[in-house]
Structure 1
Amino acid sequence: MNTISVITAVHNPEAEFLAAAYASLAAQNLPVGWRWEWVVQEDGESGAARAILPGDPRISHGYNAHGGVAITRNLALARAAGGLIKNLDQDDQLTEGTLARDIAVLDADPDVQWTASRALDLMPDGTTAAFGDDPPPGRLRPGRILDYWHTHDYRLPVHPATLCIRRPLLMAVGGWMAVPGSDDAGMLIAASVLGVGHFIGDVGLLYRKWPGQVSAQPQHTEAASWNLRMRLIRERAAAITEFFGPRS
């Protein structure tokens, strides 16, 4: 049996949102021979996630001292059993068929190392809005994500929260980048320099927009920290390109 590990870092969760994330995962139908596990890692030892979620044996709970989302995701990765790794934020929702589409693409073409898909912003009133300028469905050559990021004011052409990635590539780039915010963007950029990607044109994620989300907090866009994060991501990508890639 093949496993896709869905990783969720949890800190001060909203019960309604975390329950909705679980419901979206529980509704996934996987291809024959595949199973999912949900690796829920709590940033701090409050036990809040265990109190909210049902006793589903497919859920694996873990805890660590408060260290931020990147550290928490990486510790969840250490506990994950799957050859494919999918992130799901605690307040987001997968759409119907998301995991099956990820698996189908990666199963069909061993050269493809990661997938991303369309995302819709889920607004507080329940309406949705499109995210950015999606690329055409299909392959994304190594280096394309980085090129776009450089020429579009450090914006990504795909939503990093939709990423599904082969475990060896994720481990090779060191997991999620150890920065306070943009850790998923840094990881995606590094991985996309080394590995062929594939953009799935179907909507794969509802990305919840609400006042309590991490990216809505002032510290996420504070200029000094943001500039340092971008500098690290840029220099890391340049070093990977120089030493190892891009490769096709």
Structure 2
Amino acid sequence: MSAAVRGTVTVVTAVHAPSARFLPEAYASLRDQRLPDGWEWRWLIQEDGETDRVRPHVPDDPRVSFRQGRPGGPGVARTMALAHADGPYVKVLDADDRLTPGALARDVAALEADPSLGWATSGVLDLLPDGSTAAFPGDPDEGPLEPGTVLAHWSANDHRAPVHPASLCARRELLLALGGWMALPASEDTGLLLALDAVSRGWFSREPGLLYRKWDGQVTGRPAHTDPAERRARTAVAGARARALAASGWRWPVTRRG
């Protein structure tokens, strides 16, 4: 990092072969971001697998790195990418999604303005196959989300979070302290969101920061994602982890004793 650079936002993307064709669009949305003076972004793309079908879609940009690993799901891929992250903040960007203009700058501004915030999210628009968009229902008011807010809503609303985990930007040290993404076959990002909410304050920006693509091949559209037995197990362990963290009394930021 050059002396003129104040900080880096590390953007982490898990990708598998079917979604690799969307990487150029994700890159275009990232390339067009305008960060505050002294800030830069780096993009860590981690393939969930070791095929020859992803690399051709990876942009040729010194700010972009690409790695592969044995398949374990998107949570495993993101956590493996986290090993190479630096800078204070980690931003999630799924391979088939796109950032909106100003999304990274808004995340940085919120977290830099208030050290008590551990994470930030934003409004999300579904990007439909015909190119139109639809709002994500039930957004909260813009502003801070006190610890336990997400878990309470999730518990009372059929395990649906009030904010979208695909728009997460979190402090890297906090993300590492929580162990990254959960080892689940799905909803690993919701599990992380609940853990963040259990120990720290968050921030929600109402202005949409993400276009969440809906397409036939996405993992969340497959029947296995809504299998009742698996969903019960996923939600049970994600909720239990968040409650255990909240009950532990550990909070971010950590108060260090002299």
Tell me, yes or no, if the aligned pair for 2:20 and 2:95 is still in contact at 8 Å.
Answer: no
Matches of 2:252 and 2:169 in 1, distance apart? Answer: 19
1:217 maps to which residue? 222
Matches of 2:123 and 2:95 in 1, distance apart? Answer: 19
SS of the aligned residue for 1:135 comes to coil
Moved over 3 A (4+): 13-16, 245-248
SS of the aligned residue for 1:234 comes to helix
1:116 aligns with 2:121: yes
* TM-score normalised over the length of structure 1: 0.97
2:82 maps to which residue? 77
**Equivalent of 1:168, from 152, 164, 173?**
173
Matches within 5 A, 1:58-207: 58-207=63-212
For residue 49 of structure 1, report the CA deviation from its aligned partner.
Answer: 2.9
When structure 1 is superposed on structure 2, of 45-54 and 227-236 the one drifting more is 45-54
Question: Residues 16-74 of structure 1, C-alpha deviation per residue, up to 9 Å, x if partnerless?
Answer: 42111111001101111111000000111124332112210000111101111111110
Q: 1:48 is matched by which residue type in structure 2?
A: R
SS of the aligned residue for 1:48 comes to coil
Identity %: 50
Q: 2:130 is matched by which residue type in structure 1?
A: D
1:241 maps to which residue? 246
Tell me, yes or no, if the aligned pair for 1:41 and 1:73 is still in contact at 8 Å.
Answer: yes
SS of the aligned residue for 1:230 comes to helix
Matches of 1:166 and 1:209 in 2, distance apart? Answer: 28
Tell me, yes or no, if the aligned pair for 2:23 and 2:96 is still in contact at 8 Å.
Answer: yes
For residue 231 of structure 1, report the CA deviation from its aligned partner.
Answer: 0.7
Question: Residues 65-105 of structure 1, C-alpha deviation per residue, up to 9 Å, x if partnerless?
Answer: 11111111100011112310001001000000000110011
Pair 1:86–1:247, CA change in 2 (3 A)? closer
Pair 1:15–1:186, CA change in 2 (3 A)? closer
Q: 2:237 is matched by which residue type in structure 1?
A: L
1:27 maps to which residue? 32
Matches of 2:217 and 2:26 in 1, distance apart? Answer: 16
1:54 aligns with 2:39: no
Tell me, yes or no, if the aligned pair for 2:116 and 2:252 is still in contact at 8 Å.
Answer: no
Tell me, yes or no, if the aligned pair for 1:115 and 1:198 is still in contact at 8 Å.
Answer: yes
- Let me know the Cα RMSD of the aligned residues: 1.3
